[in-house]
Amino acid sequence: MSSLYDPLGIVAPVLLPAKKILRDLCINKQLGWDDDIPVEYKASWEQWIEELHHLNTLQIDRCLKPADFGHVVSVQLHVFSDASTVGYGCVAYLRMSNDEGGIHTAFLIGKSRLAPVKTITVPRLELTAATVSIHIGKLLMKELETTPESVTYHTDSTTVLHYISNETKRFPIFVANRVKQIRDFSEPTQWKYVDSKSNPADVASRGVSASHLLTCMNWFHGPKFLSSSESEWPVQPHLIHDEKMLEETVTATDATQDDCSHNTKIHFNKEFELLQGCESTRGRVPRTSSVYKLDPFIESGILKVGGRIGRANIPKEMKHPVILPYRSHVTSLIITDQHIKLANAGRNHVLSMLRETYWIIKANSAVRNVLSHCVTCRRLRGSTCD
């Protein structure tokens, strides 16, 4: 893997799957350096090796400007970033316009990194990827012989755009440090939204095989809209700068998801191991598992209920509620919070509201246990003294 010399990151998405295999083997405490690779990893590794010969057909023009392009009148730098539960990545392009209205985009550099072993939310990974974009932008502005007249950063995360454009909200340390780096070297107006399908950095965040990369024209030439007039570029979404709305966004992405992800992964360790890498598809868990009948799957590092209800015309959180264990501090906190919001309502009412977002194992018992310790309920429903 280390013998692939690729300083510009042209085939960075191909290296990501191999990096993941190596890291998984290294964190397996039962394996020694001289042990044979386990069967489940060996097949993936051999397939990755077999695919490498496809890279022999890859050709990239070393000159950024085509020979017959003519006089260049405009030069722009565009950097794209993306993240997934597997990793995060960035890619940069030089967009040139000539005096005849012709446009050419050239690949400059790509980056692809694995997500940390410790699970963090996808919005935080997206923010980390945006920070890497800033470093790439600084590097290219220093190294390019022709100074671009503008630098534009693209992300498919509206949460990241909220973070960057915010002027008043105080964020958690993780978010605040990265937002500061971004704001120190760029202006909020330089950040644009791009939909996931048009984001070329998508393959860098998920990793692809060598044969698949050769078909990813977006990766080598940038998204199609860069080759068209700026008036035809994607319309930017309207960002609501309401303080309460921003606070809810931060809470949902940075607190609730982190807690739920960490909470379910203590309790459903085997299920996570079996379903890892099966995001957006349904995996298989043993019949002995307490979540077997729920057809579980992983989304953004969180275990959720699957099944055909996904086709129903109801909100997404109701289609695939978050799975929570029976005995858990986080589960108890969520039940208590819902109970208080419902003005100390009874068990059935609390259960009904919880099931719009969460699926708690042995929910009846879990809710009954929490409510039995509610001081307010015991005082209101206690028998009067003679």
- Flag whether pLDDT at 259 surpasses 60: no
Asked whether residue 205 falls in the same domain as residue 72, the answer is yes
- Flag whether pLDDT at 240 surpasses 50: yes
Tell me whether residue 6 is in a domain.
no
Asked whether residue 220 falls in the same domain as residue 255, the answer is no
Match 């729920």 to its residue by tokens. 294
Q: What is the DSSP string of 150-209?
A: EEEEEES-HHHHHHHH-SSPPPPHHHHHHHHHHHHH--GGGEEE--GGG-TTHHHHH---
Mean pLDDT on 217-226: 93
pLDDT on residue 309: 72
Question: How many folded domains does the chain comprise?
Answer: 2
Percentage of residues of the chain with pLDDT beyond 90: 37
Written as one letter, the residue type at 308 is R
Tell me whether residue 4 is in a domain.
no
Q: Name the residue among 176, 163, 165, 90 with its Cα closest to residue 132.
A: 90
Q: Name the residue among 67, 71, 64 with its Cα closest to residue 100.
A: 71
Domain enclosing residue 267, as ranges: 244-381
Tell me whether residue 227 is in a domain.
yes
Mean pLDDT on 192-206: 92
Among the ranges given (74-88, 216-230, 245-259), the one the predictor scored with the smallest mean pLDDT: 245-259
CB 200 within 8 A of CB 218: yes
- Flag whether pLDDT at 281 surpasses 50: no
The CATH number of whichever domain residue 90 belongs to comes to: 3.30.420
Q: With DSSP H G I counted as helix, E B as strand and the rest as coil, what are the percentages for the chain, rounded to 5?
A: 50, 15, 35
pLDDT on residue 282: 52
Pair of tokens at residue 343: 């003005």
Asked whether residue 105 falls in the same domain as residue 152, the answer is yes
What is the rounded CA–CA span in Å between residue 88 and residue 265?
21
pLDDT on residue 253: 45
pLDDT in tens, 332-370: 888 888 888 888 888 888 888 888 888 888 888 989 888
Asked whether residue 228 falls in the same domain as residue 293, the answer is no
Asked whether residue 131 falls in the same domain as residue 220, the answer is yes
Tell me whether residue 23 is in a domain.
no
The pairing of beta strand 358-360 with beta strand 322-324: parallel
Q: Which residue has the higher pLDDT, 33 or 358?
A: 358
Domain end, chosen from 219, 242, 265, is at 242
Asked whether residue 289 falls in the same domain as residue 229, the answer is no
Among the ranges given (24-33, 116-125, 136-145), the one the predictor scored with the smallest mean pLDDT: 24-33
What is the rounded CA–CA span in Å between residue 256 and residue 252?
5
- Flag whether pLDDT at 260 surpasses 60: no
The CATH number of whichever domain residue 352 belongs to comes to: 1.10.340.70
- What's the mean per-residue pLDDT of the chain? 83
CA 235 to each of CA 153, 230, 326: distance values in angstroms, whole numbers, following the listed order? 15, 10, 45
Domain end, chosen from 216, 242, 268, is at 242
pLDDT on residue 246: 46
Of 29-33, 178-182, 230-234, 377-381, the range with the highest mean pLDDT is: 178-182
Among the ranges given (64-78, 155-169, 206-220, 292-306), the one the predictor scored with the smallest mean pLDDT: 292-306
Asked whether residue 284 falls in the same domain as residue 145, the answer is no
Asked whether residue 214 falls in the same domain as residue 250, the answer is no
pLDDT on residue 92: 97
Tell me whether residue 45 is in a domain.
no
Domain end, chosen from 200, 218, 242, is at 242
Tell me whether residue 22 is in a domain.
no
In our burial notation (b when 16+ CB lie closer than 10 A, e otherwise), range 137-163 reads beebeeeeeeebeebbbbbbbebbbbb
pLDDT band at 245 (very low <50, low <70, confident <90, very high): very low
Asked whether residue 219 falls in the same domain as residue 279, the answer is no
Asked whether residue 260 falls in the same domain as residue 377, the answer is yes
Mean pLDDT on 5-27: 91
Tell me whether residue 238 is in a domain.
yes
pLDDT in tens, 123-136: 899 999 999 999 99
Of 31-40, 79-88, 359-368, the range with the highest mean pLDDT is: 79-88
Asked whether residue 306 falls in the same domain as residue 341, the answer is yes
pLDDT band at 310 (very low <50, low <70, confident <90, very high): low
Asked whether residue 259 falls in the same domain as residue 211, the answer is no
Return the SS3 of 70: coil
Tell me whether residue 42 is in a domain.
no
